[in-house]
């Protein structure tokens, strides 16, 4: 009958399957006609944003790692270049030092050759220089025991020559090299201090030694005096200096000089010795 619904048969567990009751289902939504819920859309946007940040981070790390590797390679390359430059600098410094040593050696040889040539030239010119044949005693007197001063002039000195140097380098045939040199209006002259001149070895008078007794009671010393020989000597001789430097021997003892000298006038010069003597202790 039109518009009339047939009632369902009563349920029975033993009823055939074609009597089974099926619950009607809701038809699926048409995606073309129905809108996606707002909550699901927001979740999907967050998921996409997270994935994008992850990729960006990964790419950034990759870029950083590549940059670090490249920088490390650049540093290694720069270090290698620096080592090469340092090695080259060391080689250059060694070459410069070797060059300086060679230059110093050449300069030294040049100086040696110049000095040798100058010395040879000086030696040739020194052959033309000569002293007076007979040296002169300076004022003809003795300055001390065995000491006599001599004087001589130097001749033939070239004008360009240093006279004082020539004087000090030129030996006299009898006296040797001068003790000192001088120069005056007549030229260069040399002076000699001869310390073993026989003419100034003035002796003490024989048998003139006198025992003057103890110097004082309990002094332990005895005084001796001896007269100095003055015969045949110039009156200008420095007798006091001669006396104080003249040696003597007596009573088995040697004395280089007197303890002191006594000038008593009229050519009377005495040497005095104070000798230790046990007999003078009392």
Token digits of residue 134 = 């007979």
More confident residue, 97 or 45: 97
Rounded to two decimals, what is the model's pTM? 0.51
Split at pLDDT 50, 70, 90, the class of 19 is: very low
* Cα–Cα distance for residue pair 200/13, rounded to 1 Å: 177
Query: What does the CA dihedral 240, 246, 248, 254 come to, rounded to 10 degrees?
Result: 120
CA dihedral 177, 180, 182, 186 (to 10 degrees): -30
Q: What is the pLDDT of residue 89?
A: 84
Q: Residues 113-138: pLDDT tens digits? A: 999 988 888 888 788 889 987 777 76
Question: Using an 8 Å Cβ cutoff, are 127 and 148 in contact?
Answer: no
**Cross-strand partners of 225:** 210, 272
Tokens of 236: 């200008």
C-alpha–C-alpha distance, residues 279 and 139, integer Å: 48
- 233 and 148 Cβ atoms separated by less than 8 Å: no
Cα 167 to Cα 132: distance, rounded to the nearest angstrom: 12
What Å distances lie between residue 166 and 20, 156, 173, 179, 196, CA to CA?
Answer: 157, 10, 15, 13, 26
Dihedral, 211, 213, 216, 217 alpha carbons, nearest 10: 150
Q: 267-281 pLDDT, tens per residue?
A: 688 999 999 999 998
Per-residue confidence (pLDDT) for residue 124, from 0 to 100: 83
Query: Residues 139, 143, 145, 148: is their CA dihedral positive or negative?
Result: negative
In angstroms, rounded to a whole number, what is the distance separating the alpha carbons of residues 138 and 87? 75
The SS3 of residue 120 is helix
- pLDDT tens-digit map of 216-234: 988 999 999 999 876 445 5
E strand intervals along the chain: 130-131, 136-144, 147-155, 180-184, 187-194, 210-214, 221-227, 248-250, 253-255, 260-263, 269-276
DSSP secondary structure, 40-84, as one string: HHHHHHHHHHHHHHHHHHHHHHHHHHHHHHHHHHHHHHHHHHHHH
Lowest mean pLDDT among 110-119, 131-140, 206-215: 131-140
Q: Which of 168, 195, 178, 186 is nearest to 135 (CA)?
A: 178
């Amino acid at each position: 009958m039109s518009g009339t619904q047939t009632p369902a048969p009563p349920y029975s567990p033993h009823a055939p399957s074609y009597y089974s009751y099926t619950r009607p289902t809701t038809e699926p939504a048409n995606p073309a006609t129905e809108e996606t819920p707002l909550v699901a859309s927001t979740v999907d946007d967050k998921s996409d944003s997270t994935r994008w940040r992850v990729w960006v981070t990964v790419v950034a790390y990759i870029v950083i790692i590549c940059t670090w590797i490249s920088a490390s390679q650049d540093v290694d390359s720069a270090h290698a270049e620096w080592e090469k430059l340092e090695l080259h600098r060391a080689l250059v410094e060694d070459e410069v030092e070797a060059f300086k040593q060679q230059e110093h050696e050449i300069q030294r040889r040049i100086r040696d050759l110049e000095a040798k040539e100058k010395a040879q030239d000086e030696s040739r010119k020194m052959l033309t220089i000569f002293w007076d044949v007979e040296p002169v005693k300076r004022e003809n007197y003795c300055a001390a025991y065995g000491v006599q001063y001599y004087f001589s002039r130097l001749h033939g000195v070239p004008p360009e020559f240093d006279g004082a140097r020539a004087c000090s380098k030129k030996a006299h045939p009898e006296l040797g090299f001068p003790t000192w040199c001088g120069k005056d209006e007549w030229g260069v002259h040399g002076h000699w201090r001869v310390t073993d001149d026989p003419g100034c070895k003035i002796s003490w008078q024989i048998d003139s030694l006198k025992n003057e007794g103890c110097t004082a009671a309990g002094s332990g010393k005895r005084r001796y005096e001896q007269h100095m020989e003055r015969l045949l000597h110039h009156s200008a001789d420095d007798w006091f200096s001669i006396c104080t430097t003249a040696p003597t021997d007596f009573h088995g003892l040697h004395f280089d000089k007197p303890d002191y000298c006594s000038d008593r006038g009229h050519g009377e010069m005495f040497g005095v010795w104070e000798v230790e003597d046990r007999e003078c202790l009392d």
